[in-house]
Structure 1
Amino acid sequence: MADLSGDDRGQVLLVAGFVLAASFVALTLVLNSVIYTENLATRGADAGGGDAISYRNDVADGLESVVESVNRNGSSRTAIRDELSRAVVSTSRRAAQFQVLRGISANATLVSVAWGTRIGQNQTTGNFTNSTVPASADVASDWTVATGVDATRSARINVTDSSELALQSNDPLELQVTDGSPWTVTLFKNDSAGTTTAIEVDPPSGPSRVCSAGKDPAIGLTAGTFNGTDCPALEYGEGISTPYTIAVRNGRQFQGTYSLVVDEVIDSTDIEYDNYGTAPDVPFAVPAVYSATVHVEYQSTSLSYATDAQVRPGESDD
């Protein structure tokens, strides 16, 4: 072993100390640099990414009401798709207006449409029977609305004269969603004048539940509301598996309008087709957009973002 004098040992310790100090300083600089870079990158991604996501959500949210409007006014798939495509461009431009001033390019285009069927009856004095058109159809108080359904959205019933409803003991209107064992909603009046009305919900298993309201209620079947108020009893299709059938019983015991959108495409091959005529005079079944896919692009000097957004009007009702 080398013989080091006191002075030599001191010099070695001093050099070692300098080396360690330099190493700690370098390590601190490296760590600070990493932390600073990470924070800066995260801050930039959040800011730009947040704006891009906000734009995507604004477009998708704005298009939900547009799709419902196009469905109400469209007469054919071609007309509905063309109108929706134009509406996507218009909605995209409106949502991007404040971005242009910041040098940001943002736009959305319609990619695809998943078709379904809008079923309804618009006459305020109409009932819930099936159609008299075509002439060969039998007007029925008990009938099948749709079969092979996997999903239903925006299902609403508006009572226009609750005095025309039946009492609970007199075979009132029933709407059934069934996969063999029905989930049933029964709509009836609590008194002969119809000043108060109620719905009783019977799931396939478990006790029945009731919600009450005043006269002429609006029922959001898939939204779970009764006259604009949450109805805890109303959980559409509770306990029912897909595909299911939607059916009406005692359809004459009702006066008002109704509408719903199912994911099934009803055409001349379906058994329920003969239950419908032509809108708006009789119960109808017309093409409708069940959901749409929109391609969204958002570009700034520091961010390039592109994604497909799903537009599903009434999805919160599902």
Structure 2
Amino acid sequence: MAHVSIDLPDGERFRGSDRGQLLVVAGLVMAVSLVALVVLLNATIYSENVATRGIEAADGEATEVRVVTVEGVGETIDAVNRAHEGEDPPTDAALADIDELEERLGRSYARRGATVQLDADASRTSGGDRVDTAGKDTSLANATNATSYTVAGNIDGTRGFVLDLEVDSLASSTAGDAADEAFHVVVDPAGNERREVYVYRDDGSDDVVVAAGDGGEDPAVVCTVDPVGADRVSVDVTGERLDGEPCVGLWPSDRLAPGNEHTLEVGNGDAADGVIRATVRPTNTELVTDVDDADTAGAVYDATVDLTYRTAELWFETTLRVAPGEPDA
């Protein structure tokens, strides 16, 4: 094997120990380079994690203030509507209370170093009517003792359509006999198939049953609840809930988009005692209802609010339409 030598400036040659030292130095250089690379990678990963956590925190903060605002404005609107008994919607009162809500939120979020601004005006507030039978006899037959009647007609919006019924007053029935025997409400979209929602006690178990059918056909059971000694049961038709639990299939969202004209009706009103509540938005014509005049009043249907939320690190702006209890499209 040929021997290759390298001439050094003083004419000396590498000895074996020289070559070993060169290898050690090269190894150290490589090791230091790898350590430096690992440190740089860790720093980069850490920086990205910190930045990501900052974004997630900001998103969470914006989501929180948005939810709080929607809930607060919704509760404010409904509280004003419940207190109002006149014909005209209480728009001015609702706007004044939204201003008070802004002050309360501002004081609360000021502890975080944040400011909250809510802007609403009458031009972006829709009027409607509140129907509430709580002031009449408990029977859900209407004032003329008719058992089938119109709760609200000539409307293109419904929210908070809730039935608060006395358990012992409900007729005992089955799904096959419900159309003839059980209390029910009807959602009748213009030009589309009706949805009937029946509430009765099961003929065998005495559980409270909610069933739904279309166009007068035999209904199918949607959900049940054991009243376990409770005096009343709540059916939220627009929210599709029974005593606060999901009861999907009550509101015909598939054929009734927001803004479509429809009618709310009662059938077999003598088969239940309790209260019907709803907030509705009439079309260009007046509300049609067979409920006593004393049980209807002007109401705020919805309000559009501009929300601005600012901190040292975050500036969040959005526009919110608030219509508490309106069904999802």
Fold shared by both chains (TM-score > 0.5) = yes
> What secondary structure, in the 3-state scheme, does the structure 2 residue paired with 1:54 have?
helix
Residue 298 (structure 1) aligned with residue 309 (structure 2): yes
Q: Which residue of 1 aligns with 2:98?
A: 88
Stretches of structure 1 that go unaligned for 5 or more consecutive residues are 6-23, 133-138
> What secondary structure, in the 3-state scheme, does the structure 2 residue paired with 1:203 have?
strand
Give the paired residue count.
294
Q: Which residue of 1 aligns with 2:193?
A: 181
Residue 54 (structure 1) aligned with residue 56 (structure 2): no
Residue 241 (structure 1) aligned with residue 252 (structure 2): no
Residue 252 (structure 1) aligned with residue 266 (structure 2): no
Q: Which residue of 2 aligns with 1:135?
A: none
Distance 1:315 1:181 in 2: 20
Asked if 2 retains the 8 angstrom alpha-carbon contact of 1:117 and 1:266, the reply is: no
Residue 275 (structure 1) aligned with residue 290 (structure 2): yes
Distance 1:162 1:125 in 2: 16
Q: Which residue of 1 aligns with 2:318?
A: 307
Q: Find runs of 4+ consecutive structure 1 residues off by over 6 angstroms.
A: 27-37
**Letter of the structure 1 residue corresponding to residue 220 of structure 2:** S
Distance 1:220 1:184 in 2: 13
> What secondary structure, in the 3-state scheme, does the structure 2 residue paired with 1:275 have?
coil
Asked if 1 retains the 8 angstrom alpha-carbon contact of 2:308 and 2:318, the reply is: yes
- How many Å apart are 1:308 and its aligned residue? 1.5
Q: Which of 211, 217, 222 is equivalent to 1:201?
A: 211
Stretches of structure 2 that go unaligned for 5 or more consecutive residues are 1-5, 7-33
Asked if 2 retains the 8 angstrom alpha-carbon contact of 1:119 and 1:259, the reply is: yes
Q: Which of 128, 137, 156 is equivalent to 2:162?
A: 156
**Letter of the structure 2 residue corresponding to residue 294 of structure 1:** V
- Cα deviation per residue 1:170-219 (whole Å; 9 max; x = unaligned)? 7332211234533222334568xxx9463351322786216563564322
Q: Which residue of 2 aligns with 1:69?
A: 79
Residue 217 (structure 1) aligned with residue 235 (structure 2): no
Distance 2:264 2:276 in 1: 14
> Greater CA radius of gyration, 1 or 2?
2
Q: Which residue of 2 aligns with 1:125?
A: 137
Aligned CA distance change for structure 1 residues 97 and 52 (closer, same or farther; 3 Å): farther
- How many Å apart are 1:58 and its aligned residue? 1.7
**Letter of the structure 2 residue corresponding to residue 144 of structure 1:** T
Residue 146 (structure 1) aligned with residue 152 (structure 2): yes
Distance 1:151 1:78 in 2: 15
Residue 116 (structure 1) aligned with residue 128 (structure 2): yes
> What secondary structure, in the 3-state scheme, does the structure 2 residue paired with 1:273 have?
coil
Asked if 2 retains the 8 angstrom alpha-carbon contact of 1:124 and 1:256, the reply is: no
Q: Which residue of 2 aligns with 1:100?
A: 110
- How many Å apart are 1:317 and its aligned residue? 7.7
Q: Which residue of 2 aligns with 1:20?
A: none
Q: Which residue of 2 aligns with 1:265?
A: 282
**Letter of the structure 1 residue corresponding to residue 160 of structure 2:** S
**Letter of the structure 2 residue corresponding to residue 303 of structure 1:** L
Q: Which of 269, 278, 289 is equivalent to 2:301?
A: 289
Distance 1:189 1:43 in 2: 52
TM-score normalized by the length of structure 1: 0.68
Distance 1:28 1:200 in 2: 64
Bigger mean CA offset, 32-41 vs 55-64 = 32-41
CA RMSD between the two structures: 4.4
Q: Which residue of 1 aligns with 2:90?
A: 79
